[in-house]
Amino acid sequence: MTTDPPFSSAPKRPTARFMFSHPAHVLALGFGSGLSPVAPGTAGTLWAWLAFTVLASWLTDAQMGVLIAASLPLGWWACTVTAKNMRVLDPGNIVWDEVVAFWLILWLIAPAGLGAQFAAFVLFRFFDAVKPGPVGWADQTFKGLDARGGFGILFDDLVAAFCTLLVIAGWRFL
């Protein structure tokens, strides 16, 4: 019978060496954007914005939707593996949750100008960082160094994305 490392073990600090030690780490750490020493969630969201802009020039809307859909289970796996290896329930350096959630927002508001995209960025960062109401509930619901915890890492950002989209939809109807 194998056991997981104890919670009392010192968490691993993510470095480039740690990131490149496993493919899941590369994805979960947002291809390095999560290694930012300051506001890694914001860095990951900015990376997502840039990546979406580049990908949108090559992919159709349907292909982008497939990419986002595929990024969810792949991200679930990557977040689960990376959090377990870091020995931290929801490491701030894991930013794939921000990436896929912000891709979803940008995809659903397209075609949107730079101003609308910036507003979406600000709203999403607010909901993700402050975690008001349903986002806070989602953040506390799924915890652990297993698949449940990996899902939880993604879940609160998807709820933040939903809240962002609700505000944008309400704003458009005013």
Tell if the pTM clears 0.85, that is, is over it: yes
Q: Which domain holds residue 106?
A: 16-172
Domain for residue 3, yes or no? Answer: no
d(CA 134, CA 167) in angstroms, rounded, equals 14
Domain for residue 10, yes or no? Answer: no
Domain for residue 114, yes or no? Answer: yes
User: Could you report the per-residue pLDDT of 18-33, keeping only the tens digit for each?
Assistant: 999 999 999 999 999 9
Asked if pLDDT for residue 8 goes beyond 60, the answer is: no
Domain for residue 53, yes or no? Answer: yes
Domain for residue 4, yes or no? Answer: no
d(CA 68, CA 101) in angstroms, rounded, equals 9
Provide the CA 84 distance to its chain's centre, in angstroms: 17
Domain for residue 1, yes or no? Answer: no
- Report the percent of the chain where pLDDT is more than 70: 93
Number of domains in the chain: 1
The average confidence (pLDDT) of the chain is: 91
Domain for residue 106, yes or no? Answer: yes
Domain for residue 109, yes or no? Answer: yes
Asked if pLDDT for residue 3 goes beyond 50, the answer is: no
Q: Which residue has the tokens 């607010």?
A: 126
pLDDT at 171: 85
What are residue 20's phi and psi, to 5 degrees? -80, 0
- Indicate if the alpha-carbon torsion angle 114, 97, 47, 56 is positive or negative: negative
